[in-house]
Chain A
Amino acid sequence: MKRIEILNFKSPNRAPLIVEGFLFGEESKGPSVAIVGAMSGDHINQLYVASRLVDYLTHKEEEGKISGKILVIPAVNTYALNMGQPFWPLDKTDINMMFPGYAQGETTQRIAAKLFESLQGYDFGIILEGRRDQGMCLPYVKLIKSGYEDLEAAKDMGMRFIHYREYSPIETVMLQYNWQLWGSKALSLVFGKNGSIDHRSSGEVHSALVRFMAKHTILDVSSFEGFSSNVIGPEHITLLKASHAGIFDSLVACGDTIEKGDTLGRITDALSGKKLEKIIAPLGGIVTCQYSHPLIFQNSIAFRIASLN
């Protein structure tokens, strides 16, 4: 394992921002993959999975099991992580909204440019992503249709769901889109709840990463088969919204199979304690995602249900 400095960026007063990468194996031996962890300061779960992977790969390398090239960058925005903030602490910009970066531009554009440069030339690119809302979800593969995406590679993760969809305008400045355009087969694994560690989904993502690397002969280990992935689009997702604001209790877990008529959650008035609402499943399916903050806003999405009808 080689510990490399991806970037070293000076600050006016605090210690420099140092982004480190952990490099295993060598290119000449087989396919290559780069894995990017926490780009935001609240992506703790992503940091956890990435650092755990570094430790795992360190042992596998000692056992001579690395048959390709692997780069893991556990954390990009360490400044934000150390302050309990999601974004770049000075101007609150999101590094994952700055790609492909610009070496002559603003600070976070320069950081993105340096990072992006270090990610070039890999066969596969994996982004460990947190959510962009107050939700938590069943781990899934997010794959956008840039025209350069590789659905078959996504299936090799063996995750239960692949959310395969058109991209929105803001995604054109995010890493997945740009990484795909620049020739790596890039995808995102979205999981967990921002600001916390969920051991179950972290374990699932770790297994998926190992399985993927084993299937692509980057890692010489045996791994269990995962799911035969369900490729779903927005048309397979039903959104259940909260009609009221208040205190939110969920009665189900992500991944639960539910039937039409099941009570999934309830909302009570935050001041009077009055029961305002039960959220009832209008159809059967699997809970893929749910609101995860105890206070909910009116019309917030409380649950997302995947179903095939």
Chain B
Amino acid sequence: MSVIEEVFSIDLPVGEQFRIQRCRYTPASGETTKRISIVSGIHGDELEGQYVCFLLGEWLRANPEKIKATIDIYPAINSLGIDSITRSVPFYEVDLNRIFPGSKNDFLPAQIADGVVSAMKGSEIAIDIHSSNIFLREIPQVRIAKSQAQTLVPLANKLNIDFVWVHDAVTVLESTFAHAMNTLGTKTLVVEMGVGMRLSKAYGHQLLDGLLNLMACEGFLDIKPLDVRMPIQSHVGEVAYLNASGPGLFVPSIEHCQMIEKGSVVGQIVDPLSGQVLDEVIAPIGGILFTLRAYPIVYEGSLVGRIFGENE
């Protein structure tokens, strides 16, 4: 059984509503209090999650008898942004993922956040799918605040991703969707994969397998768990950040997601005006290049890549 529902609606000034929709899949026997929420599009320029939502919906429509508990799919939270290549909430230019849990008594973005939380509150698990941004390409990974590691890492390991990145708690991240939901008792994983404004089809299928496996393990689907990959764990090594030393055009020398040696060239920063190579970006450690810049214009400091290297 599936039904499309509007979970939040608010009038816009001129003849239109801002709305958030979900597709709810339930067992033939009806809705269950046990439910999982699959979420994408909190950032309007990130589309990888839209494809995953499609793939999962397609699978569930083909296998309705396998559904054991309520599965909610929310492909487009910032619906205005997704339909207009706008990362933040249009008009307000506010990053929706910095104002959770939101409030009914505040401006539009905060009301949207509040609407999102109200709709998903009570879910056992939420998977918030991001695709980095338009600047960087990422391998499929889950990012977890250290304080949540014990609960969330075992869950993340079921998602068929490549990397689990446990990071120190930062106060500003207390305003994210994931933090708000984790605080309310919903185990919430943040997936980052691919790049903004584009689809990486293979990653979409990889995460679909992960979602099916997680839902099988956690009692949402009546299927056998899948054979998924075990992600690299961040605590066994270190992350090196590669920032541009100066402005120019960044031209990568290698493909994303490669194993590289310490001292090898990741890319060049060149000057189109003078025809000179301004700098070479060198790998400070060996390891996997899990982040690579996709948007070529850089300033001093622009992130061009991240390498994860395992400790000896």
Contacts and interface: CB of A to CB of B under 8 A. Distances in A.
B171 interface: yes
A111 B201 CA distance: 37
Given A106-B302, A245-B11, A245-B12, A299 B104 contact: yes
A93 B303 CA distance: 14
B10 interface: yes
A252 interface: no
A245 B15 CA distance: 9
A169 B174 CA distance: 6
A38 to B, nearest CB: 16
B299 to A, nearest CB: 4
B298 A12 contact: yes
A107 interface: yes
Contacts of A270: 13-15
Given A12-B297, A110-B301, A241 B14 contact: no
Interface stretch (A52-60, A121-129, A212-220, A290-298): A290-298
Interface in B134-184: 135, 171-175
Nearest to B45: A92
Contact of B247 (A11, A173, A295): A11
B300 A110 contact: yes
Nearest to B107: A133
Nearest to B87: A92
Contacts of A241: 105
Most chain B C-beta atoms within 10 Å of own C-beta, residue among A97, A108, A270, A271: A270
B175 A271 contact: no
A92 B88 contact: yes
Contacts of A106: 243, 301-303
A10 B171 CA distance: 31
A109 B14 contact: no
A241 B105 CA distance: 8
A133 B11 CA distance: 18
Interface stretch (B25-33, B34-42, B56-64, B90-98): B90-98
Nearest to A85: B93
A9 interface: yes
A12 B12 CA distance: 39
B228 interface: no
A283 B299 CA distance: 52
B15 A11 contact: no
B243 A104 contact: yes
A105 interface: yes
Contacts of A97: 98, 172
A89 B246 CA distance: 17
A306 B247 CA distance: 49
Contacts of B257: none
B111 interface: yes
Contact of A134 (B18, B92, B104, B135): B92
A10 B133 CA distance: 23
Contacts of B247: 10-12
B197 interface: no
B55 interface: no
Interface in A1-38: 9-13
A297 B93 contact: no
B81 interface: no
Contacts of B175: 168-170
Interface string B237-276: 0000101001111000000000000000000000001000
Most chain B CB inside 10 Å of its own CB: which residue of A104, A110, A173, A245: A245
Residue in A107, A108, A246 with the greatest tally of chain B CB atoms within 10 Å: A107
15 contacts: A12-B249, A91-B133, A92-B88, A106-B302, A108-B301, A110-B300, A169-B173, A173-B171, A245-B12, A246-B13, A246-B14, A270-B14, A297-B18, A297-B91, A301-B107
Q: What are the nearest 10 A-B pairs in CB distance?
A: A295-B13, A245-B11, A298-B11, A169-B174, A107-B301, A12-B247, A172-B171, A107-B299, A270-B14, A110-B301
Given A10-B246, A244-B11, 5 more contacts: A12-B297, A133-B107, A239-B105, A247-B13, A271-B15
